[in-house]
Structure 1
Amino acid sequence: MNIYLENLERIEFSVTMCCTGRCRHCSQGDHYGYSGHIDGEKAAEAVEMVCRYYDIKSLMTFGGEPLLFPETVCAIQSAAERAGIPRREIITNGFFSRDSRRIAEVAHMIAESGVNRIMLSVDAFHQETVPLAPVELFAEWVRAEGVPVEIHPAWLRSPEADNEYDRKTRELLKAFREKGYHVSEGNIIFLKGKAVELLGGAADEVPADPYEDYPDDIRALCFDADGGVLGGSIYKNDIIDIIKAYSPV
């Protein structure tokens, strides 16, 4: 269909730029002033159409904080399950409500939508502004629904480094490990967005951006919260037409 997307195997949705955290390591810049989110019906339609032409192995929804709009997230994830995508993931900070009933409701919605991996961001950066209690409650409800939860931390320098951020992250992770949660290796932060201003002097070196793709070998189709993808928009054009028209130059 398009030689630049011959190896396409993943779909990602930035559901919204709205966020409940104000993390100093954030690569997305200042989230104040954002209020919108991607249209769930349009996004689900795009998933189903892409999967007619490509063997998609994984789909992820993230943000901002995607679970501020759980109905949208679940519409996308349900479409992924119907299309047979084997890995269906959410990255979340786990804080979208303080209401225990709403937290339980969203956990059930996630399970019903077919999500099979929750990557929960817990570390010194997130917990500067994200309260831990509702995050822990969300993790317990999701686990009770049978959805695997993986704690996914961000490190300033490394899991073994001796600095205030990485020491605090190790303390937080210890509590989750004691409750039986799997903790991933996480990732070393890269300085982008407001993180350059807030942490520019704290990191010794800047790792490569782990989210960059080669423009002439697109392996992940990344949708922005405004519907933008590959220089087009699913609000204006069919996703297959956008893929056909894509060129890196």
Structure 2
Amino acid sequence: MNPYIKNLNRIEVLITLACTGQCRHCSEGEHINCSEHIDGDIIAEIVRKVYGRFHIESLMTFGGEPLLYPEAVYKIHTAAKEMNIPKRQLITNGFFSRDTDKIKHAAARLAESGINDILLSVDAFHQETIPLETVKLFAEAISAQDISLRTHPAWLVSDEAENPYNQRTSEILKEFDQMGIARSNGNVIFPGGNALKYLSEYFDTDQQPENPYKEDPEDIRTITISPNGDALGENVYRTDILDILRHYWPEKMHFV
């Protein structure tokens, strides 16, 4: 086994960079002309292959807004369920349709596909452009399916920092608390993309912090697949995933 990936235990799939929000804190930037999305059938087969060789404990789909391409999400998580991967997560902002029937149908399909942990991105930044009432409809539909659901806010500077954004986020979270929805710890905004462009006054731009999502290139625990198929310096649409893992070498990884 390749010694650099012997501890691989997680698969993350970036379904698309397309998004229903236009968040000022987004590290990915403006999300303009992001129509590219993952091929659910191919990734589902990759999940089966990787699970057959590694002790995969969790799989996560995210975006952009992953539920803009729900069929891909369903197929990937169905494969994870078939492989008995214990934790099957989805991160979503909960806004992909205003139609109540479509929202309920999506919630039922998510449950059927085996997702057992949904993180709902709600905070001052998402709710600048995403309607809170529609997100609540989604939250109610998910709760009716008995899927674990937690709010997953983005905090500016820290979750204890006093600023108008965090104050508004706390107000929004209380509304979900009243619905009986638990909170996750969320995440602290990384100064990149839109965050650096629109919120620079809150960051020390003279000192670039460590990217919290950076993998140790000599001890890969998570393989992340981008919408175009890029993964570990190769591309899963052009090269078999097991060959990518077999021939992975740290020098192929480049981090900003």
* SS of residue paired to 1:150: strand
* SS of residue paired to 2:105: helix
Q: 1:216 aligns with which of 212, 218, 221?
A: 218
Give TM-score, length-normalised by structure 2: 0.94
CA distance in 2, matches of 1:29, 1:245: 32
Question: Partner residue of 1:125?
Answer: 125
Is contact 2:23–2:194 with CA below 8 Å preserved after alignment?
A: no
Question: Partner residue of 1:180?
Answer: 180
* SS of residue paired to 1:136: helix
Structure 2 counterpart of 1:217, one-letter code = D
Question: Partner residue of 1:103?
Answer: 103
2:60 aligned with 1:60: yes
Structure 1's unaligned 5+ residue stretches are none
Deviates more, 1:93-102 or 1:155-164: 155-164
- For residues 113-150 of structure 1, give each alpha carbon's deviation from its aligned partner in whole angstroms, at most 9, with x where no partner exists: 00000000010011111111111000100110111110
CA distance in 2, matches of 1:185, 1:36: 30
RMSD value, Cα: 1.2
1:85-100 → structure 2 map (5 Å cutoff): 85-100=85-100
Is contact 1:188–1:207 with CA below 8 Å preserved after alignment?
A: no
* SS of residue paired to 1:118: strand
Question: Partner residue of 1:226?
Answer: 228
* SS of residue paired to 2:119: strand
Structure 2 counterpart of 1:224, one-letter code = S
Aligned length: 249
CA distance in 2, matches of 1:179, 1:98: 20
Q: Once the 2 structures are TM-superposed, how far is the Cα of residue 206 of structure 1 from its aligned partner? A: 6.2
* SS of residue paired to 1:49: helix
Question: Partner residue of 1:240?
Answer: 242
CA distance in 2, matches of 1:207, 1:104: 41
Question: Partner residue of 2:31?
Answer: 31
Moved runs in structure 1, 4+ residues, more than 3 A? 203-208
* SS of residue paired to 1:14: strand
* SS of residue paired to 2:224: strand
CA distance in 1, matches of 2:160, 2:8: 35
Give TM-score, length-normalised by structure 1: 0.97
Question: Partner residue of 1:21?
Answer: 21
1:35-54 → structure 2 map (5 Å cutoff): 35-54=35-54
Identity among equivalent positions (%) equals 51
Is contact 1:159–1:170 with CA below 8 Å preserved after alignment?
A: no
* SS of residue paired to 1:47: helix
